[in-house]
Amino acid sequence: MEKMSQNIWSERILPIIVVIGRMLLGAEWIHQAILKLQPGSGFSLDGLGPSVAMTAGIPEWYKAFFEGFVVPNTQLFNVIIPWGELLIGLGLFFGVLSLPALIASFFMLGNYWWSDMVYIYPILMLAGIAILFFNKFDKFRGSRLLKFVNKNWGDWTQSRWL
């Protein structure tokens, strides 16, 4: 009986929890991106340079990186950040390239954290670590869906679309 309850947990309950967590994390990234991409949202890194330079809790190496690389390329980062957040969110939400999306998520969350913007980011980081740790239980990733479609309907899809 105990083995059966372990199988139910690892084969049915845990995969659902992992998928819901991954989709919620993806939805949060999509939400943050949409807020920044909306016309008139006011998202810009223009005023962040002096703020990062004067904040006491930021590591000196990160201040130097921010002032030496990010501030001179503010217009580039004003485009990269929201679109990067959107791509991370879509990857996590749909489970397509979820591992690269998680790695990019950790990179962006680390940058937000180092620039002393500790909002919801520690919670998102913990959620990402949990998803990474339990990734093998995610049975509903986009890559598995593509394999399933190709295996069951491969001839039909190739004759219709290729």
pLDDT tens sequence across 63-111? 888 888 888 888 898 889 999 999 999 999 988 888 889 999 999 888 8
Q: How far is CA 162 from CA 67, 135, 159, in A?
A: 49, 32, 6
Report which DSSP code applies to 135: G
The total domain count for the chain is 1
| Beta carbons of 74 and 45 less than 8 angstroms apart | yes
Residue 28 is predicted with a pLDDT of 92
Q: Where in the sequence is the domain holding 155, given as residue range(s)?
A: 2-161
Question: What does the pLDDT look like over 18-71, one tens digit per residue?
Answer: 888 889 999 999 998 998 888 877 777 777 777 777 777 788 888 888 888 888
Residue 153 phi, psi dihedral angles, 5° rounding: -130, 20
Residue 17 is predicted with a pLDDT of 82
Place of tokens 């909306």: 38
| Beta carbons of 78 and 43 less than 8 angstroms apart | yes
Residue 77: closest CA among 85, 39, 98? 85
